[in-house]
Amino acid sequence: MTVTLADVAARAGVSAATVSRVLNGNYPVATATRSRVLRAVDELEYVVNGPASSLAAASSDLVGVLVNDIADPFFGIIAGAVQDTIGPVTETPGHGRKLAVICNTGGSPERELTYLTLLQRQRAAAVVLTGSGTEDPAHQDALATRLRRLSAGGVRVVLCGRPAPSSGDATSGRGVATRAGSNGAAHTGGPGYGEPDDGDGTARPVTVPLDNEGGARALTEHLLALGHRRIGYLAGPDHRSTTRHRLAGHRAALADAGLEPPPERLVLHGPFDRDTGYSGALRLLEEEPGLTAIAAANDTVALGVCAALRDRGLRVPEDVSVTGFDDLPFAADVAPGLTTVRLPLREAGTAAGRVALGLEDPKDGLVPATPARLVARDSTAAPRA
């Protein structure tokens, strides 16, 4: 149900006129009263009308791109591809150029929700959520609510490299469908923009998947084929969807080879950063001195692993093989070159941008995934006899 000005006034215990004054900033209001009103606005997630010049339009020219860490090349590549697609400055616009607004959440679920509310208030044309999502049930519920409101307000929602929220109605990500016609004008309701119409004008956000599970399976199969059996695994944060999918691929490869699941002591969780790789590698060596391989959550974690091994006087790959994930630009240039999995990050970002513009309209709400590809380099070899 849409939150009204009267609802905010009731929550704050003031008149509707006072709420209007606070929001418009055109009349002095006591500090304490102003604070109560703004708190009520946030608690109720009231969407304030945008500038008068935009009221006649269904949306603005903004496309919000949410990333966990813009300094991480994984997110930088995807965000750059989205931006290049929705706002090419060297081409004559077909559906009209859009302005990409990069929202850096720092991995904070609260900041993610706040950005979505702010983008709705700015009448964003689309939002693209990238990379791993937290699987905390409370956040899943809150995120599902935000996405439904965005979709109901005519905002395209694109999930790039992350699944839809899995709680409540979020399983289907239901909301009013919005898509662009051939002339770029917005249309609401009816089939299109994700899941086909269920008869009530609802549709799913569009998902642009990344093959995390398949890539992790390929890496572990590669290590097994070389003869490794004592493999340590440095996973990502234990509440992230990407972590779960990559760990599932690792375990599936072991199961296919007739091997037991890795013991808990050989599966460590931590952030996707170098420090996790460094400290995690040292801990794995303490737990299993005879370890012959370490599979890292991503390429950055793998760099930390290699540094820790060097500091312990161990050679890569002669003593311990190391794998990464993502095939970021530096993976080929480190010494030794890093065995990893290449994800089509730029292609995924481009596809997400096209959906955000309405240039692509997958009827099942899913852009076909490009399989991950194993890239074998010099950081892996057969274990010593």
pLDDT digits (tens, 9 = 90+) for 30-73: 888 878 887 888 778 777 654 443 443 446 889 999 999 999 99
Confidence of residue 279 (pLDDT cuts 50, 70, 90): very high
Contact 339, 327 (CB under 8 A): no
Percent of the chain topping pLDDT 90: 63
Percent over 70 (pLDDT), the chain = 83
Distance, CA of 239 to CA of 4 (rounded, Å): 35
Helices 73-86 and 345-357 meet at what angle, rounded to 10? 40
Is pLDDT above 50 for 312?
yes
pLDDT in the model for residue 152:
85
Looking at residue 60, its pLDDT comes to 80
Q: How far apart are the first and last CA of the chain?
A: 67
Q: Please report how many Cα atoms fall inside a 13 Å half-sphere around the Cα of residue 345, on the Cβ side.
A: 18
Mean pLDDT over each residue of the chain, to the nearest integer: 85
Check if the beta carbon of residue 222 is closer than 8 Å to that of residue 295.
Answer: no
Residue 221 pLDDT exceeds 60 = yes
CA–CA gap between residue 281 and residue 300 (Å, rounded):
13
Q: What are the residues whose beta carbons fall under 8 Å from the beta carbon of 257, sequence distance 6 or more?
A: 221, 224
- DSSP at 71: T
> Which one of 92-106, 203-217, 336-350 scores highest in mean pLDDT?
336-350
Determine the average pLDDT of the residues in 344-366.
92
- Does pLDDT of 226 surpass 90? yes
In Å, how far are 59, 65, 217, 346 from 44, measured between CA atoms?
22, 24, 44, 37
pLDDT at 154 (0 to 100): 86
Q: How far is it, in rounded angstroms, from Cα 190 to Cα 200?
A: 8
Task: Pick the most confident of 133-142, 153-162, 319-328, 356-365.
Answer: 319-328
Q: Which residue's entry shows tokens 């599979």?
A: 295
Instruction: Output the pLDDT for position 5.
Output: 82
Which amino acid, 182?
Answer: S
> Domains of the chain (ranges plus CATH)?
1-46 (1.10.260.40), 59-210+343-370 (3.40.50.2300), 212-342 (3.40.50.2300)
List pLDDT tens digits, range 231-276.
999 999 999 999 999 999 999 999 999 999 999 999 999 999 999 9
Confidence tier at 29 by pLDDT (50, 70, 90): confident
Supply the pLDDT for residue 88: 66
- How far, in Å, CA of 119 to CA of 127, rounded? 8
Least confident of 169-178, 195-204, 310-319: 169-178
Q: Is the pLDDT of residue 200 over 50?
A: no
Model-level pTM? 0.78
pLDDT band at 323 (very low <50, low <70, confident <90, very high): very high
If you average pLDDT over residues 1-24, what whole number do you get? 83
Beta partners for residue 64, in sequence order: 101, 127
Residue 26 has a pLDDT of 61
Residue-level pLDDT at 175? 30
Residue 306 confidence (pLDDT): 98
Q: Calculate mean pLDDT across residues 4-21.
A: 87
Residue recorded with tokens 């990502």: 236
Residue with tokens 């003593």: 319
Mean pLDDT of 186-192: 32
CB 203 within 8 A of CB 195: yes
